[in-house]
């Protein structure tokens, strides 16, 4: 081959290389244009789907949620079934971070979770994980809620109060674990948040008093919940309750020695009172009626003062409404009628005449607010249901899930969604 022929062959090869390179560049650009001008029918969904528990995980807590993260897309469906194929009901958290079973899973049981997601074009991706739950643990923490399921209608100030046993809930991290599993749904929806009074008591309240006729569903999703120190939650509790359509409230003023009862914004009753004497003052603050007792016995020996001592007592009491755990009540006190409206002679309770006490007893409900003003001692947090003794801003600070001033379980201060 002559030199001229060789140069022509090299030039032709170079031209072919340029054309091929140009074609490859165009093909790459097409793919980067979201498929415009090309057929992307074989393109995989642009979703990176991560699921927890991991495939073949063992010793999974029965409180486990199916945690999901769909980078580049959105989860469209989560299903869960046990080894027999029996489906588990549940629902996504409002923030979309996990799917919550409606009740604890079974111990020592295999489960299969199927998670589906799609990108913005509707391209679907699916992931399946199989896992096995742990055996039933021995060291468990019990809890109770101060509401009856489908039995009572409560007053407008009724907080949702949970009390923990077996050592309570210790430290902010443990409180955050528990709080994330306390679900409240209100109808109509009202923003609310949890507040820890102590290691053994947490209260939930809305920003304002419950709206008349509110329906509540509460789930303590604690069954099998790991608490971080070798302890686990004992059981789930779910209740439904209602708020009365009538709005009642009581105000007691030490300056006037009067109790004023208001219904739907109108005064319906006023009566004289005698409050706690200087040595045993009544507490000032906004309290909530915890229980109503037609008959009971007050005994000073229950808090260390012998009944037969100078300041002791053991007395039959009628028509009593408990306001604090430490023992302050509104109740009938026929022995102090001459003092009522004039001076304070009680051991801290709100004394009223027997006929007035009967009226209060018959008119009130558990959950009605009672505000006492102008006494020598302020109500301490947690002595009774003290949720309304704090401003909304102060109350929010008691949430263990508070972040940057916004409490809640990933959904701000709106009611958390209870699994259906």
**Is 195 marked active-site?**
no
In angstroms, the CA 316 to CA 300 distance is 12
In angstroms, the CA 389 to CA 203 distance is 12
User: Token pair for residue 167?
Assistant: 């050592």
H or E stretch including 284? strand 283-288
Work out the number of other CB atoms within 10 angstroms of the CB of residue 314.
13
Catalytic residue among 26, 195, 331, 347: 331
Instruction: Pick left, alpha or beta for residue 285 (phi over 0 → left; psi -120 to 50 → alpha; otherwise beta).
Output: left
**Is 349 marked active-site?**
yes
Query: Residue 95 half-sphere exposure, CB side, CA atoms within 13 Å?
Result: 14
H or E stretch including 16? helix 3-32
Catalytic residue among 26, 195, 347, 349: 349
H helices present in 221-366, as ranges = 354-363
For 197-282, list the strands marked E by DSSP: 201-206, 215-220, 232-233, 237-243, 248-253, 258-263, 266-272
Q: Considering only CA atoms, which of 241, 211, 210 is closest in space to residue 387? A: 210
The residues that are catalytic are: 331, 349
């Amino acid at each position: 081959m002559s030199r001229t022929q060789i140069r022509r062959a090299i030039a032709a090869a170079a031209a072919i290389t340029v054309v091929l390179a140009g074609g490859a560049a165009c093909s790459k650009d097409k793919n980067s244009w979201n498929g415009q001008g090309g057929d992307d029918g074989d393109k995989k969904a642009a979703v990176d789907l991560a699921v927890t528990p991991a495939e073949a995980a063992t010793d999974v807590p029965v409180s486990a949620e199916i945690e999901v993260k769909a980078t580049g897309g959105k989860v469209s469906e989560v299903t869960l079934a046990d080894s027999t194929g029996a489906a588990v009901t549940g629902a996504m958290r409002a923030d979309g971070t996990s799917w919550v079973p409606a009740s604890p899973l079974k111990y020592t049981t295999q489960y299969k979770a199927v998670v589906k997601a799609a990108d913005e074009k509707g391209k679907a991706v699916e992931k399946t994980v199989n896992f096995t739950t742990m055996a039933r643990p021995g060291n468990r923490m019990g809890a109770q809620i101060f509401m009856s399921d489908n039995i009572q209608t409560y007053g407008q100030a009724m907080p949702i109060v949970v009390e923990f046993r077996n050592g309570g809930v210790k430290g902010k991290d443990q409180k955050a674990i528990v709080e994330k599993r306390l679900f409240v749904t209100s109808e109509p929806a009202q923003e609310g948040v949890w507040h820890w009074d102590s290691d053994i008591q947490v209260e939930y309240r809305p920003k304002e008093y419950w709206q008349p006729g509110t329906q509540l569903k509460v789930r303590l999703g604690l069954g099998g919940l790991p608490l971080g120190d070798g302890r686990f939650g004992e059981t789930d509790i779910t209740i439904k309750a209602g708020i009365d359509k009538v709005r009642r409230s009581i105000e007691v003023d030490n300056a006037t020695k009067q109790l004023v009862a208001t219904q739907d914004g109108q005064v319906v009753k006023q009566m004289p009172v005698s409050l706690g004497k200087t040595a045993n003052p009544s507490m000032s603050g906004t309290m909530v009626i915890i229980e109503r007792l037609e008959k009971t016995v007050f005994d000073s020996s229950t808090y260390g003062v012998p009944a037969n001592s100078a300041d002791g007592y053991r007395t039959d009491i009628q028509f009593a409404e408990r306001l604090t755990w430490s023992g302050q009540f509104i109740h009938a006190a026929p022995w102090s009628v001459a003092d009522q409206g004039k001076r304070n002679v009680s051991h801290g309770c709100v004394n009223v005449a027997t006929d007035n006490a009967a009226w209060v007893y018959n008119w009130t409900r558990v959950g009605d607010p009672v505000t006492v003003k102008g006494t020598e001692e302020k109500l301490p947090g947690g002595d009774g249901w003290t949720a309304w003794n704090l401003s909304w801003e102060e109350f929010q600070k008691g949430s263990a899930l508070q972040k940057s001033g916004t409490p809640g379980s990933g959904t701000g201060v709106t009611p958390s969604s209870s699994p259906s």
